[in-house]
Amino acid sequence: MAQRTVKEILVKMRSLSLLMVDLGFAAIMEDDVDLAHEAAKIKRELRELSYKLRIESLMVSRLSISTE
């Protein structure tokens, strides 16, 4: 998988977090377990993206320090 930039990861995380909140709210209002499961899947994906964001940020900071 090609590495994403920090900005791309942040944009994806923002989009997914908005979707997760909407799904969670809908799951509560409709008492729908399937929607709740979808929100949980998105939460796991956000956790993975958060990890990738940390890794990418560390790589960028190392690169900028080494070029000074």
pLDDT tens readout for residues 45-56: 999 999 999 999
Query: Does residue 3 contact residue 56 with C-beta atoms inside 8 Å?
Result: yes
In this prediction, residue 61 carries a pLDDT of 81
Report the alpha-carbon distance of residue 25 to residue 42 in Å, rounded. 14
In this prediction, residue 68 carries a pLDDT of 66
In this prediction, residue 44 carries a pLDDT of 98
Model-level pTM?
A: 0.81
Q: What is the pLDDT of residues 14-25, one digit of tens each?
A: 999 999 999 999
Please, what's the largest Cα pairwise distance for the chain? 56
Domain boundaries, the chain: 6-66
**Closest-CA residue to 21 (of 34, 39, 35, 9):** 39
In this prediction, residue 47 carries a pLDDT of 98
